[in-house]
């Protein structure tokens, strides 16, 4: 298991990029990449599509990695029991069944 930042680091190394090169492709500076990889700051959700393109990945895979990390971190930091994920799964099914648009959910 790895954090989203560690996932980015692994992808970067597999592609043979240094932090400066990846930062340039994302429109960030090298220190931002370092902080993301070392779990000091979070990756910007708005850059997920660009990240997927850089590494030639399906966007749904990148979103899955990003949001699972985000949710798990929030649960851990707030001392919420892991059973919250079962409740969340039910809520996702509810929202799908009631055809609630994602924009209405502020996702």
- Rounded mean pLDDT for each run of 10 residues along the chain, 107 residues in total: 96 97 97 97 97 98 97 96 95 82 59
> d(Cα 43, Cα 30) in Å, to the nearest integer?
13
Cα 4 to Cα 23, 33, 44, 62: the distances in Å are 16, 12, 11, 9
Q: What is the pLDDT of residue 102?
A: 57
How far apart are alpha carbons 59 and 53 in whole angstroms? Answer: 8
Question: Is the Cβ–Cβ distance between 62 and 51 less than 8 Å?
Answer: yes
pTM here is 0.84
Look at residue 105 in the predicted model and tell me its pLDDT.
59
């Amino acid at each position: 298991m790895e954090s989203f930042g560690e996932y980015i680091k692994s992808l970067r190394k597999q592609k043979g990029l240094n932090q400066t090169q990846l930062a340039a492709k994302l429109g960030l500076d090298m220190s931002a990449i370092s902080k993301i990889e070392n779990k000091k700051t979070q990756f910007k959700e708005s850059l997920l599509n660009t990240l997927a393109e850089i590494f030639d990945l399906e966007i749904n895979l990148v979103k899955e990695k990003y949001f699972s990390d985000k949710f798990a971190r929030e649960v851990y930091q707030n001392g919420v029991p892991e059973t919250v994920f079962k409740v969340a799964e039910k809520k996702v099914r509810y929202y799908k069944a009631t055809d609630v648009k994602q924009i209405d959910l502020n996702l």
